[in-house]
Structure formats: structure tokens, C-alpha cells
Amino acid sequence: MPELPEVEIIARRLQAGQNGIALPGHTFVRASLQWPRQVGMPSAEGFRRRIRGRAVQRVRRRGKYIVLDLDRGALLFHLRMSGDLYLQPREAPVEPHEHTRLMMENGWELRFRDVRKFGRIYLVDDPQILLARLGPEPLDADFRPRDLARLLAKRRRALKPALMDQTLLAGLGNIYTDEALHRARLHPRRLCSSLNDEEIQRLWRAIRAALRAGLRHNGASIDAAYRGGGFQKHFRVYRRTGLPCPSCGTPIERIVLTQRSTHFCPACQPEDA
């Protein structure tokens, strides 16, 4: 699933320009919905009608959402497991799984490709309808260790599922949680409420370091869902079961935690610490 770095890279490309075209300043004139259920809000017919004439002012990311601020309202995309969002000239052949195409006045299209069909699109008057429930952004300058401590203190949950809870912290998923916990030398089953101040500091630094590493390498490309990233070449633990830990050489182990594959080093991240 695309996580914070992958979603951020896509949003930056659309904002700054892709294939010589930047999305802000252009107007949608028509929508082609080959799989109408991809539209989560409003109805597919209402979406086709209401998207016409809407101009894009800015593209940004919040959590795992790509947010297009429009002249009226906002258009949000959640990529879920396999979504990708990019610009193509209208004459470009339609690729498999490009279920939604939004035509613009300049002859280009915004295309939403989604192999598994879990992604969703929302056209809303106020983006806070969807975004208000999200936790803080872990890379924000004003997000400090004390904020992380406050979020974790009252939760008697294991660290791994807690950090992936978007209402606690926005943007982390399976990859970057495993990578951050290894950097912090914390076992994924440790209870949130058991961390001391020094461990909170380590975790805060590790989360930010893992996300920044992902951004430096344009995200991780581990299947066709997200293309062009290189962070998978720098994983410490994720999908490295049986391979040596980059810190100590101990073979990486894999467990299933809340139905998610979880990777860690048993020496660097002891459960009984």
C-alpha cells in the first residue's frame, strides 16, 4: 500500500509538474468512470455532473490522501492497496485498470489506475469531512516527542498496530512502521504505555528518519501499485525474513500481528526489553 512517502511523491509531481504539465490552474471538463464504485462520494452520476468546470488550485497530501483543493470544494483520492495517480495526454492509449479518467481543458487527463479496485475518490465541499479524524503529521515541525508520548500514554495496545492507526498518527503503514521500529530498537509487540522517555525519543526520531529515507529514495516500489521508487533497496527489515540484520547480523524474523506481516530483528528488538 502506498504510504506517506509514496503519496507525498505523487502529490509533489502533480503540483510541480509531470510530463511538462502541472495540475494547478487547469479545469476538469468531463469524467470517464469505467468502474463507478470507485467514487465514494457523491454518487457516480452526481460526480460526473459536479466535477465539470471545477478548477484545481493546489495539490497536497494529508495522511494517505491526495487532496486537490478546487475553486469550489475539494477532490480527494485514497490510493489504498494499489492506486496510482498521474497525468497523461488524452491521445495516450488507455492502460488496463485506469478506471477513472478526468479530462481537462488543455487536452490532458488525470488518470487513476487501481489494479485491486480498493481506491476511492471523494468530491466534497469541505475536505475536513474526511480529514478531521486523522492524527498529526509525523514530519510536521511542531510534532515533538512530547506529542508522541501523549498519544501513546493511554493506549494499552501493541506498538505496531497503534502506529498504523491513522487516527493516532497519519501516514504510517506496514513498511515504514517496521522500518521505524527497527531503527528505534523496539519490538512491535511492546505495549505503547510501557515506553519510557528515552524510548519515546528514539521512536520519534526513528519514525521521522524512516519516512525521510523513503522520501529521499522516491518511495518504495514493491509491486505494480507504485512505480519508480527505490527505497525497497534500502529496507532494514521489511520483507527481509531470514536475511541478516544490517545492525547486528542476526536473521530477520517474521510474525503476523493483527493480520499483518511484521518483520523485526530479535536481537536488536528484544520483546522482553
Contact between residue 231 and residue 213 where contact means Cβ atoms under 8 Å apart: yes
What cell does 88 get? 497523461
Q: What is the mean pLDDT of each run of 10 residues along the chain (273 residues)?
A: 93 88 96 96 97 98 98 96 92 95 97 94 98 98 97 92 97 97 98 96 98 94 71 95 98 95 98 81
> Is there a domain that residue 52 lies in?
yes
Active site residues: 2-3, 64, 260
The rounded radius of gyration (Å) of the Cα atoms in the chain is 20
**Can you give the pLDDT at residue 225?**
58
CA distance 212 to 83: 22
> Is there a domain that residue 96 lies in?
yes
Q: How many CB atoms lie within 10 A of CB 76?
A: 22
CA distances from 182 to 12, 51, 105, 155, 222 (A): 28, 44, 48, 21, 19
**Can you give the pLDDT at residue 224?**
59
Beta-bridge partner residues of 122: 41, 76
What cell does 251 get? 536473521
**Pair 192, 229 in one domain:** yes
Site of grid cell 498519544: 151
* Dihedrals phi, psi of 86, to nearest 5 degrees: -160, 165
Strand 120-124 relative to strand 39-41, pairing: parallel
How many CA within 13 A on the CB side of residue 233? 6
Which domain, by its residues, includes 119?
4-131
CATH number of the domain within which 98 lies: 3.20.190.10
CATH number of the domain within which 247 lies: 1.10.8.50
Site of grid cell 497503534: 162
Angle at 93 between CA 89 and CA 97, to 5 degrees: 105
Contact between residue 207 and residue 138 where contact means Cβ atoms under 8 Å apart: yes
> Is there a domain that residue 138 lies in?
no
**Pair 216, 99 in one domain:** no
> Is there a domain that residue 8 lies in?
yes
* DSSP 8-class letter at 93: P
The domain boundary residue, chosen from 78, 96, 131:
131
**Pair 182, 215 in one domain:** yes
**Pair 126, 149 in one domain:** no
**Which residues are CB-contacts of 222 (< 8 A; sequence separation ≥ 6)?**
175, 232, 239
